[in-house]
């Protein structure tokens, strides 16, 4: 091969590396959807986000923006175009689908799908606890949840045979899988999507792959993790963020192996967000939206959350 051809191949190879590198966003910003306050939280503001979600995302190299509720659709469209993903956190909202949390979540879900279908544009949607419940309702267009006893309890995961084909668990070390198979996954919910209800709804079975199931104290089986076949949409019924950042319950496992589970999920979430190149119009605009503009409040004496952020939309 002559020198000119060597140079050409070198330049082509270098170009490919540069293109590949530029496709990875190493400054991801993820939104955490807030929810309307109630009870003791009302004294601090109109909306809130648990600090443990923020800490988990930051621990894996992402910055966080709180997504406010009770905003016009234009606000959520702007946030979608500016952020690299969204987390639907756990908590509690009456009449969830019609709540401000539910309505905003539905908009992000729909925008993620539409943008992927029309432009192959990648935007992460991650739902935990109440978040996976909302995802099931949005996809099924109805409430198929069953009452379960998860208040609070650590429960093992049972993995489906083809779980290694999933995006969520394909790269998980055996040590992480083995830890998840023991009773270390903190659940705190009274409603769940059962495999039976899932299998009876075509909208759900065509959209999601079930990855794991668990059983509550009374033996009712429920879906504990799932992901969309086509889209970057994921759901967990349990709380990996609590292993590192919440201490209000003795049943939360803080052992070294379980802390690694938190790190695994945090890194997975952020790695998915890195695939998105959405961005704020300027760094100044980003800075004005970040969670750094707010100070967390100690709430461990009045709630199950050690700290929370509060907002007045």
CATH assignment of the domain containing 261: 3.40.50.880
User: Does 166 score more than 50 pLDDT?
Assistant: yes
User: Does 17 score more than 80 pLDDT?
Assistant: no
**Which of 129, 188, 244, 278 is an active site residue?**
129
**Which of 188, 239, 244, 278 is an active site residue?**
239
Task: For CA atoms 224, 302, 34, 92, give the dihedral sign.
Answer: positive
Contact assessment for residue 146 and residue 192, using Cβ atoms and an 8 Å cutoff = yes
Is there a domain that residue 128 lies in?
A: yes
User: Does 281 score more than 70 pLDDT?
Assistant: yes
Largest CA distance in the chain: 76
Confidence (pLDDT) at 301: 95
Q: What's the number of domains the chain is made of?
A: 1
Is residue 263 flagged as an active site residue? no
Q: What percent of the chain has pLDDT over 70?
A: 93
C-alpha dihedral, 128 to 132 to 134 to 137, nearest 10°: 180
Which structural domain, as residue segments, surrounds residue 159?
28-311
Confidence (pLDDT) at 13: 42
Instruction: Give tens-digit pLDDT for 199-228.
Output: 999 999 999 999 999 999 999 999 999 999
Give strand ranges (E) for the chain: 29-33, 35-36, 47-50, 63-67, 85-88, 124-128, 146-155, 158-159, 185-192, 208-215, 221-228, 233-236, 297-298, 307-311
Is residue 239 flagged as an active site residue? yes
Is there a domain that residue 12 lies in?
A: no
Confidence (pLDDT) at 1: 45
Is there a domain that residue 190 lies in?
A: yes
Instruction: Give tens-digit pLDDT for 29-63.
Output: 999 999 999 999 999 999 999 999 999 999 999 99
Is there a domain that residue 69 lies in?
A: yes
The backbone torsions φ and ψ at residue 64, rounded to the nearest 5 degrees and listed phi first, read: -130, 140
Is there a domain that residue 17 lies in?
A: no
User: Does 6 score more than 70 pLDDT?
Assistant: no
Average pLDDT in the chain: 92
Is there a domain that residue 9 lies in?
A: no
Task: For CA atoms 144, 146, 147, 148, give the dihedral sign.
Answer: negative
Reading the block at residue 127, the tokens are 């739902």
Is there a domain that residue 13 lies in?
A: no
Is there a domain that residue 169 lies in?
A: yes
User: Does 9 score more than 60 pLDDT?
Assistant: no
């Amino acid at each position: 091969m002559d020198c000119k051809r060597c140079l050409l191949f070198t330049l082509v190879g270098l170009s490919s590396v540069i293109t590949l590198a530029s496709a990875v966003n190493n400054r991801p910003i993820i939104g955490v959807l807030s929810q309307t306050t109630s009870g003791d939280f009302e004294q601090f503001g109109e909306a809130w986000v648990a600090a443990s979600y923020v800490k988990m995302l930051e621990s894996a190299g992402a910055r966080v923006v709180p997504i406010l509720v009770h905003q016009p659709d234009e606000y959520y469209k702007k946030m979608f175009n500016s952020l690299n993903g969204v987390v639907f956190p756990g908590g509690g909202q009456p009449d969830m689908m019609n709540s401000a949390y539910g309505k905003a979540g539905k908009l992000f879900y729909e925008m993620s799908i539409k943008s992927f279908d029309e432009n192959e544009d990648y935007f992460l949607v991650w739902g935990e606890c109440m978040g996976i419940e909302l995802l099931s309702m949005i996809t099924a267009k109805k409430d198929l949840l069953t009452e379960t006893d998860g208040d609070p309890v650590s429960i093992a995961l049972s993995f489906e045979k083809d779980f290694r084909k999933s995006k969520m668990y394909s790269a998980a070390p055996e040590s992480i899988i083995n830890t998840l198979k023991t009773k270390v996954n903190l659940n705190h919910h009274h409603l769940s999507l059962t495999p039976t209800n899932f299998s009876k709804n075509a909208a759900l079975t065509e959209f999601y792959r079930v990855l794991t199931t668990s059983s509550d104290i009374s033996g009712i089986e429920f879906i504990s993790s799932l992901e969309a076949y086509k889209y970057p949409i994921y759901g967990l019924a349990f709380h990996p963020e609590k292993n590192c950042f919440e201490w209000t319950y003795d049943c939360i496992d803080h052992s070294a192996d379980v802390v690694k589970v938190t790190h695994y999920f945090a890194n997975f979430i952020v790695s998915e967000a890195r695939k998105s190149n959405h961005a704020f119009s300027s760094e100044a605009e980003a800075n004005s939206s970040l969670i750094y503009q707010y100070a967390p409040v100690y709430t461990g004496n009045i709630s199950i959350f050690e700290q929370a952020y509060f907002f007045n939309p």
